[in-house]
Amino acid sequence: MKHCQWCDAQFTTKISYQIYCSSECREAATREKIAERYAIARRNRRHGKVRKCKGCGAGLSVYNDEQLCMKCTVNPNEVTKALKDIKGFMNGKSITD
Ligand SMILES: [Zn+2]
Ligand SMILES: [Zn+2]
């Protein structure tokens, strides 16, 4: 006994790789896959503009709405270092003034 990957109905088959109970279900599933691929292509086009991480300058994923890449979000050493440099620069300036 197998479960149809589309409508979840139980069915029996002699073909081991058959995952849909009927050709209707197979066609519906194929249509869904094509629509999904089309949606992804459309999303990629919308996010065609390349965005860079504010921390390390690496290209950001279209799925990442943050201004930092995953690496910098998890371990923002570069950002911390940059902030320290600015602080040190300002301290040095105040001493010489
Ligand atoms: Zn089915
Ligand atoms: Zn980064």
16 CB contacts (<8 Å, ≥6 apart)? none
Supply the DSSP symbol for 45: H
Half-sphere exposure of 61 (CA within 13 A, CB side): 5
The b-or-e profile of 19-43 (16+ CB within 10 A means b, else e) is ebbeeebbeebeeeeeeeeeeeeee
Spacing, Cα 73 to ligand 2 middle (Å): 7
Spacing, Cα 2 to ligand 1 middle (Å): 10
Spacing, Cα 37 to ligand 2 middle (Å): 29
pLDDT of 35 reads 95
* pLDDT per position as a tens digit, 28-75: 999 999 999 998 888 877 656 678 899 899 888 877 778 888 888 876
pTM score, whole prediction: 0.43
